[in-house]
Structure 1
Amino acid sequence: MSYRYLPLDSLAINRANDRHGELENETAAIAWLFNNFELHMRNLAKDIVANAQVFEPPLVFPDGEQFVLFDGNRRMTCLKLLEKPRRAPTTELQDFFSEQRSIWRGDFPSTIECQVETDRDRIDDILFRRHTGSQGGVGQSTWDDRMKSNFVNRTGMGGGFNVADEVERRLGEASMLPHKKIPRSNLNRLLSAEAFRNRVGFTGARGKFEFTHDEPVVIRALRRIADDLANRYVVLGDIWDVDAKRSYLDRLESEGLLPTAANSLASKQEPRQATERPALARPTRVAKPQTRTALIPNTLYPIAWAGRLQRHRAIWEELQFHLNLSDHPNAISVLFRVLVELATENYIEQTKLATIASSDALAKRVLKVAQDLQANGKIDQKYSQLLSKFPQHDQLLSADTLNRYVHSPNFAPSSDHLRAMWDWMSEYVVHCLNA
């Protein structure tokens, strides 16, 4: 640990702050703070101006010529906007910061005393012990459930069970532990999100380690991961964010080291119910729609939210937490169609699906994506055949129905029908978001 005075311009607002998860860039992170904590941010800016200082050095990590902020993002955002008010996301906020800057007493600071940490494990330990009170926005804002979840998904800390413990125990029982010590924090980070655990062949959805695929195949995959980490073939910087973790697992999949649908334990259970999905641990479709107030059930879906999915996630959360089916069926139906289209485009872009033309309608694009999902073992033939009905105009569950939600003045969506549509399309949407 060291304390150094660093130029304000060298401090980068963290685009992957645990408050919001991964966003596209520093500008998006600043905008998020004001969209969600404008009153707190204004109060904090006034407090900084009144005292002409920040009372606690921000916590930073060196990244090339810059220093990424891991604690103090709100304080440094205020200072950056006081220094350059035109960077504020709205004209009203630009006027506010210009006014505050005009009453600053003394010289405006060009350098800030920072706590510099080069060990990311130590940074996470520090963050884990902070954030206990907001004090009206002047102090550190308390993490809500989503923020805590973002922290757990990124680091694997405080998630109910320790992935590294479970993996080491099973590799030990199989006499497959690497000769060198496994970096446990890196292993926890890599497999902190349920979406990534599912790809390797296990789940922690019920707070404990459970195999979802044939144990020997999963153990082989875990052994390779443990070897890569222990021998430093893969280091923390290689698996720091969602896309980096996904890229590493994609590489293992291309080498044939990850389990496939043929190894799924669910597909081998008897007797098999008509609505069971022989795939990864995830919410399943049901024949009879569940009674719920929102389109998306309040269930933990195994999605690894990359920064490029910022708008996708915002729409998802509106449909899961904020819009009531009985009060907002029209808004929900339109947003549902937007989510299906954006998720489909994400899959096409990330997989570089060459068989799809830019002129293809949504129905045709969904059909081709479904075929690709089946070809790659992500979905089974039964579900692929179900999705093949999507382009058919005479089907109630179809692209035509989604389009009529948006364009028809006479086609009124019902809550029950919307629930059924989601139960039908949810697995497809989750796979597309995880591409």
Structure 2
Amino acid sequence: MSPQTQKLRFGVGTSKRRSIPISKIDLDLTNARFRDDAKDQNQAIEFMLAVAGEKCLGLLKDITTRGDLNPSDLPIAVVDGTRYRMLEGNRRLTCLKIWKHPALLNSLPADLKDRYQKRFQSVIAKSPFSPPDALDVVVVTSLEEADSWIDKKHGLGKESGASTVEWNSFEKDRRRFRRTNKRSPSYSFIELLNAEYSDDPMLIRYLTEVINVQYTTLKRLLDNSVMRDEIGIQYHLNGRTTMKLSASEMRPFITHLLADLAKRNQDSRSLHSSEDVGAYLRELADKELPSPSAMAATVPPGDNSKTEPSGQSYPQSPDSQPTSTPQGNDSPSPPKPEPKPQRRKTHARVFEGLDLSGFSEKIADLATNTSRLSVENNPDVVSILLRVILDLTAFQFLDRFGKGNPPRELDKRLLEVLKILDPGATEQLKQAETARPFNTLFHSIRNDPNHLRLAQFAVHSPSFVSTAAETKRLADRYEPMLEAMNQKLLEAGTE
């Protein structure tokens, strides 16, 4: 190869990985998160906690518990005279500086100090590790060199594929299964389709598109009671999904459903409520499934008149004689009328299609499993689970967005949650026609001592029995609040 065409060796650049004393690294005063440039390092910490205090607290909990930082994601710093300026990793540096010198929190404004000082000190006190003295960083020689890497890290250029791309919901489910052997209902359904229809390229093509663009909408369909009770696609607690009908009988229905999602004939707007989902599934089942009778309730044991397979007979007893036609009557007996096929009764359920993915996996799974229970058959169980879900979600939400430790009492927790979701909820309650939903809920909890009676008694009373209607009404009342909490957590991002 001639000198003119000789290629450069890959990996030769000016950036170098080094271990730098934390005391010699400064926060970037012009950080993109800040509302304005900070004038000094103390104000940089103030600005960081003002815009990302909860995330910093969550990150510090992770760092102090693990005793290490993510080795696959190194901070980026640039030489700044005799010191170094952090260009990427300012949140990590903030946490490490506070861990090393908690007294830095003393210079915060009163509101931030009240909100964070004790909580940061509590996290630090619980850590079994001592804070590090140095930090491994990638040192670059210029801002221009760092900019291209930072842009890629934060999603600029992701359209071309050059940027880091966040996993979608299916990819997260797939990774969770590979790590824990735990299947979500939607991931289990995908496995079933891959096993049953791998020879159908059109169906698999639709499936691939749905995974990429409408996976969460598919989850709403699978969580709906019509899919389970009437169509017969059932997710079991062992992580497997089964179909009541055969794969060949289900093929037209599955293909049509996936095509609707892949082509966006149906999406989260048209399938907004559980009623919308149920109506769509029933219409599709009437059009594409063999007949409602194929999905009717199982015949009780001992009655073979409707379950005997076609083309197969059972042996007769030796004493049995064929029924003879009366002499002199050539007309055949009129056929018995076909019984009118009946669909299985749909049971009322709570939280159908409710997405709590912004909360912990435990809470999200608890809500999903609760949505599979019939309220009529399990009113007390659902009522207890409702109480637990309200308690856990309010605690996690206030741990992220609240001031100080979450209150112990459920009603006080919910009032704090509503203040954050709707600061105007504490205003005087207006007429029902003009009152905001969260304002109405806030004043109901505050002014009506019996408002949470069902949720409290479900756990604390050994004799109180919840009715199905009461339990369903209470769950429906709080579902919008749970949705709003989840949305705020998703917008805030997770560590």
TM-score w.r.t. length of structure 2: 0.31
Q: Which protein, 1 or 2, shows the higher relative CO under an 8 Å CA cutoff with sep ≥ 6? A: 1
